[in-house]
Amino acid sequence: MLSIARGELIQLFRNRLVLVTAVVLPVALSAFLVNRHEMFADLGSLGYIAALVLFFVVAIGLYTTTVTTFASRRQNLFLKRLRSTAAGDAGILAGLLVPITVLTLVQLTVILGVLAAVAGKPSNPVLLVVAVVATVVMMLALGLATAGLTNSPEHAQVTTLPVTIGVIGVAGWVGVSGTEHLTLLKRLLPGGSATELVLDAWNGGVPVARSLILLAPTLAWVIVAIALATRLFRWEPRR
């Protein structure tokens, strides 16, 4: 697994398109949010900014790169060759996912750390970590599911749009309007409960036990995405 991860990390920094998608674009958008935090805090709160940062990084960076990576490795038969080695399926998947996952977590740590330094610390850092980890796992699972429907890296530009736009849109909607109205709908949509969890973690004022209930819809999406990935994911190109 480690050799696969090392090779994937090298490829990640050699591919300009993937590098821009995985690093430059989400960091640039997040830096803009942090720089204009007062303006965006007027629309929602500091928790709202943190939620947008989280979903910009995991949707544009982690999710899109996951789909593009697996589509590319399938197209050039790299996945097929890996399966002929001693590495098992789980080891192959982990090796390909570890580099972008670690990179994503580093980006989130740095950007949210800067936001905390310039605007104010989160009320409950541990709850924030739980929200980040749950969201990252959800987006990885959705990435594997989407990869099963994606025939090529170019096709990924189309297949990733619904989830990318959807989760960012839901995060913005929940962050600005809250969950006082249409509560169930907002929490059941992918990213809705995770956004509310980030808001609770950063803004405070909500019992931790009640906030942890918000993990249920996010974990449900993980289960759904894994089920879809198991059914749709392919190791070889369609003939």
The pLDDT of residue 189 is: 93
The pLDDT of residue 188 is: 92
List the alpha helices (DSSP H) in the chain: 2-14, 16-19, 25-35, 37-43, 46-55, 64-75, 78-82, 89-119, 125-147, 153-159, 161-177, 183-188, 192-203, 208-212, 215-232
| Structure token pair of residue 91 | 């080891």
The pLDDT of residue 36 is: 65
Q: Is 157 exposed, middle or buried (0-12, 13-18, 19+ CB in 10 A)?
A: middle
Mapped onto helix, strand or coil, the DSSP state of residue 162 is helix
**Contact yes or no for 230/93 (Cβ under 8 A):** no
Q: How far apart are CA 26 and CA 20, in angstroms?
A: 9
Confidence of residue 30 (pLDDT cuts 50, 70, 90): low
Q: How far apart are CA 213 and CA 227, in angstroms?
A: 22
Q: How far apart are CA 173 and CA 48, in angstroms?
A: 10
Which residue is it, tokens 């790299």? 78
Q: How far apart are CA 210 and CA 197, in angstroms?
A: 10
73: pLDDT strictly greater than 80: yes
The pLDDT of residue 10 is: 72
Highest-confidence segment of 23-37, 79-93, 156-170, 209-223: 156-170
| Summary mean pLDDT of the chain | 84
Of all residues in the chain, the percent with pLDDT exceeding 90 is 26
The pLDDT of residue 116 is: 84
Q: How far apart are CA 171 and CA 189, in angstroms?
A: 10
| Structure token pair of residue 73 | 């490795």
Confidence of residue 90 (pLDDT cuts 50, 70, 90): confident
Segments making up each domain of the chain, as ranges: 2-232
- Model pLDDT for residues 138-188, shown as the tens digit of each residue: 999 999 999 988 888 888 889 999 999 999 999 989 988 888 888 899 999
